Amino acid sequence: MRVKKIKITDNAIRESLEYQSRVMKNPIMNTPNHTGISSINRYAIGYIGEWAFNEWLMENNVDGNWNPQSNGLSDKHDFLINGKTIDIKTGSNIDYKLLMFPQTQLLKKTNDFYVGVIVDLKNKVGYIHGYEAIGTIQKIKAKDFGKGIPTIAIKLEKLKDVLEII
4, β-bridge pairs: 128
DSSP string for 122-162? TTTEEEEEEEEEHHHHHTSPPEE-SSSSEEEEEEGGGSBPG
pLDDT per residue over 55-100, tens digit each?
A: 999 999 999 888 776 555 556 788 999 999 999 999 998 899 999 8
Range of the domain at 126: 4-165
Beta strand residue intervals within the chain, DSSP E:
4-7, 79-81, 84-91, 98-102, 113-120, 125-133, 143-144, 150-155
Residue 15: the pLDDT is 94
Q: 145 and 151 in contact (C-beta within 8 Å)?
A: yes
Q: Which residues of the chain have pLDDT under 70?
A: 1, 27-40, 69-75, 109
Counted domains in the chain: 1
Residue 22: the pLDDT is 85
Q: Measured between alpha carbons, how far is 23 from 44 in angstroms, rounded to an integer?
A: 9
pTM: 0.89
Residue 74: the pLDDT is 56
Q: Measured between alpha carbons, how far is 124 from 55 in angstroms, rounded to an integer?
A: 14
Residue 43: the pLDDT is 85
